[in-house]
Amino acid sequence: MNMLLSNKVAIITGGARGIGRATALRFAEEGCTPVIVDIRVDEAEETLKQIADRKGEGIFIQCDVSDSSQVKKMVDNVIGKYGKIDILVNNAAVSPPERPFIEITEEEWDRVMDVNLKAAFLCCKAVVPHMMEKKYGKIVNVASLGAIAPSKVIADYCVAKSGLVMLGQCLATNVAEYNICVNSVLPGITRTDFHDFIRPMEITKDEYFAKLDTTFFMK
């Protein structure tokens, strides 16, 4: 069977769960070797188990992608093991609690920017020189509908995701001549456990997502 990603190696940040896990599983089904990059060990191991159950292969590297030294070590490890990086998926993210703009603390702002925006910058900085040398690469930034649809209750998240889209556009103009393609995707409300820690416990998950679907953006 002809597979779309045969013999490709892909770094997927935040690949231990949610959209990252789904991406890793789909990539593996298409013949790719996913490198799960995350801080969550147990969930990453479960992702690898699900990949193996589908007769695929992948590895896990524990890494805080907001730390430049850890990112460099992670990328060096991947190149050392496989000799190449074909694909980078910048998916790692944190979602802040819902609150008005004036209640956002400096610490919360910095954390959201570090994981949702700076981390993608660091990963691109580490991976792109290798892709330029090979004259091949695919970079996918997983942004959000929040990049273009403002929210009263997660302004920092929306700003970071908007910045991620522009990061991709600016990078694309720099690397197109090296046969490196950069794109951003903007998922809407997605039913993953990404929302669990901010969901009010007095309502069910179904009630919470119904509320998000109708009122979350442009409140």
2 domain-assigned: no
Q: Is 64 helix (H, G, I), strand (E, B) or coil?
A: coil
Q: Residue 86: is its pLDDT beyond 90?
A: yes
Alpha helices in 6-148 (DSSP H): 18-29, 41-53, 68-82, 106-113, 119-134
Higher pLDDT, 120 or 96: 120
219 domain-assigned: no
First to last CA, the chain: 48
Per-residue pLDDT reduced to its tens digit, 184-201 = 999 877 666 655 545 455
Q: How many domains does the chain have?
A: 1
95 domain-assigned: yes
Return the H-helix or E-strand segment holding 87: strand 87-90
Q: In terms of pTM, does the model score above 0.85?
A: yes
146 domain-assigned: yes
Query: What is the rounded distance in angstroms from the CA atom of residue 129 to the CA atom of residue 125?
Result: 7
Per-residue pLDDT reduced to its tens digit, 105-154 = 999 999 999 999 999 999 999 999 999 999 999 999 999 999 999 888 99
206 domain-assigned: no
Mean pLDDT is lowest, of 9-23, 42-56, 139-153, 189-203, for 189-203
What is the domain extent for residue 184? 9-190
CATH number of the domain within which 156 lies: 3.40.50.720
Tokens of 194: 């990404």
1 domain-assigned: no
Q: Residue 213: is its pLDDT beyond 80?
A: no
Residues annotated as part of the active site: 157
